[in-house]
Amino acid sequence: MFAYWEGVVNASTLAKLFKVTISNITKSLTEYRELYPDTLIYNKSLKRYEPAASFSCHYIDGSWQEYAAFLRINSQVYKSDYWGALAIDFGPLYTGFVDPKVVRMITQAITKKYAVKITYYSLSQPAGKERIIHPIALADSGVRWHCRAFDEFRREFRDFHLGRITQAKLVSPSTIDAEKDTAWMTSVELHIAPQPSLTCEQKNVIMMDKGRGESFSVTVRAAMAEYYLLFHLIDKHVKDSNPLERPLYLKNYDEIKPWLFGG
């Protein structure tokens, strides 16, 4: 990761990052160079390794997403010891509040396969309603965290915003089969493109953020399709007026419609 993205491999930096001795890192670097000779060159004057022209990745895929995740996990170390506080900023992780005591019960329910009695607040039940749910998964919509669960009240699998749960208690073993949650188990491909009424130049600019080309596709769980569109401000339909308001739209709406809210 360091060699590919930053062009520097320093034993002291790695020792600090992984909280091990420099001798352990030195040993690992020696083993790495034996496995992959002529990939790292030692710079004596700067006392660090640098990637050779023949360097290639063996343990990472070299994607920006992978490196960004690495930076996020280690952001405090980068701010305090490597780049400095002003050199990296991920902004707030999530805007919604999640009660740790509640989520602990949800994660335990998933682990132990238990049902949970919760108090849940929704626009249809603003005063809160006691419900028993059978959690099967946690999901991040980009804006908030959800619990995917079978709802005994509605007799169906639904999404529950973790921030809207104020009470949670394990009640009994669950016999709900997660594989029966069709929307969760099904993956769908969203085909997304710039609005047709944009100029060619505008379309090219929009697609520069997405890897260029005329359109792009992403695969998501069917249950998360609506959230993906909302989070990325993707319109469901072609928009002739004010296309720059939401410059991307869902090309295969008819195919995805059954999985969308109100579809």
What was the pLDDT predicted at 95?
A: 59
Angle, helices 11-18/22-35, rounded to nearest 10 degrees: 120
Contacts with 156 (C-beta within 8 Å, 6 or more apart), sequence order: 150
Q: Which helix (H) or strand (E) holds 188?
A: strand 187-194
What was the pLDDT predicted at 83?
A: 86
pLDDT above 90 for 77: no
Output phi, psi for 203, to 5 deg: -60, -40
Q: How far apart are CA 32 and CA 78, in angstroms?
A: 24
Average pLDDT rounded to a whole number, residues 100-115: 96
Q: What is the DSSP string of 26-56?
A: HHHHHHHHHHSTTSEEEETTTTEEEE-TT--
> Above pLDDT 90, what percent of the chain?
76
Higher pLDDT, 78 or 158: 158
Q: What is the pLDDT of residues 204-255, one digit of tens each?
A: 999 998 877 899 999 999 999 999 999 999 999 998 889 999 999 999 999 9
pLDDT above 60 for 263: no
Query: pLDDT-based confidence at 94, cuts 50/70/90?
Result: low
Query: pLDDT-based confidence at 88, cuts 50/70/90?
Result: confident
Strands 48-51 and 156-161: unpaired
What was the pLDDT predicted at 144?
A: 87
Question: Are 208 and 166 spatial neighbours (Cβ–Cβ below 8 Å)?
Answer: no
Q: What is the pLDDT of residues 5-56, one digit of tens each?
A: 999 998 988 998 888 999 999 999 999 999 999 899 999 999 899 999 999 9
Higher pLDDT, 35 or 80: 35
